[in-house]
């Protein structure tokens, strides 16, 4: 099981050419822990790309976009990894990407492949993760994976 943890601080966030912020926060609401407070951007050409510079380099394993105004099936990519947006049980649209282990980086680019003119994003989550092995049977003893 892959478990993401500890979103690092963000130094800067900007958009690729062909996109512009529509909200006064200029992307800072993407990382405020409040998915209901959305950031909006306008797409005039190409696929909107959100470029994030983290305060420190991490091995990025989990990227999530929450509170999207996009329809289901829109492709979101980070590097060579892509996933599609899905409607969650509460009716909101989100996309989660699980990335392979790679070198630590402080720069993350999220590409949203859409022709929609206005994109709304409630939260952007970028996290390292730990893999926790799960046993296939019941057990009462505690297993510490760091001792194996």
Q: Residue 8 — pLDDT band, cuts 50, 70, 90?
A: very high
Q: What angle do CA 131, 134, 139 make, to 5 degrees?
A: 140
Q: What pLDDT does 144 receive?
A: 76
Q: What pLDDT does 143 receive?
A: 72
State how far the Cα of 124 lies from the Cα of 102, in Å rounded to an integer: 20
State how far the Cα of 108 lies from the Cα of 104, in Å rounded to an integer: 11
pLDDT single digits (tens) 24-78:
999 999 999 988 899 999 999 899 999 999 999 999 999 999 999 999 999 999 9
User: Quick check: 117 pLDDT over 70?
Assistant: yes
The pLDDT of 129-140, averaged and rounded, is: 77
CB of 71 within 8 A of CB of 120?
Answer: no
Tokens 């099981």: give the residue.
1
Tell me the whole-structure pTM to 2 decimals: 0.86
Tokens 């989990």: give the residue.
62
Tokens 């979103």: give the residue.
7
Strand partners, 81: 78
User: Quick check: 86 pLDDT over 90?
Assistant: yes
Q: Tell me the three state secondary structure of residue 124.
A: strand
Q: What pLDDT does 139 receive?
A: 61
């Amino acid at each position: 099981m892959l478990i993401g943890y500890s979103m690092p601080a963000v130094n800067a966030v900007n958009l690729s050419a062909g996109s512009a912020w529509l909200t006064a926060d200029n992307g800072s609401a993407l990382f405020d822990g409040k998915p209901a407070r959305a950031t909006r951007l306008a797409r005039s050409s190409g696929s909107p790309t959100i470029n994030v510079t983290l305060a420190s380099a991490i091995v990025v394993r989990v990227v999530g976009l929450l509170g999207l105004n996009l329809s289901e099936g829109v492709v979101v990519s980070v590097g060579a990894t892509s996933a599609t947006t899905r409607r969650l049980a509460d009716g909101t649209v989100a996309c989660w990407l699980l990335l392979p282990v790679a070198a630590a980086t402080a720069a993350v680019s999220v590409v949203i492949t859409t022709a929609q003119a206005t994109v709304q994003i409630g939260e952007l989550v970028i996290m390292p993760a730990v893999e926790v092995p799960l046993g296939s049977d019941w057990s009462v003893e505690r297993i510490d994976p760091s001792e194996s």
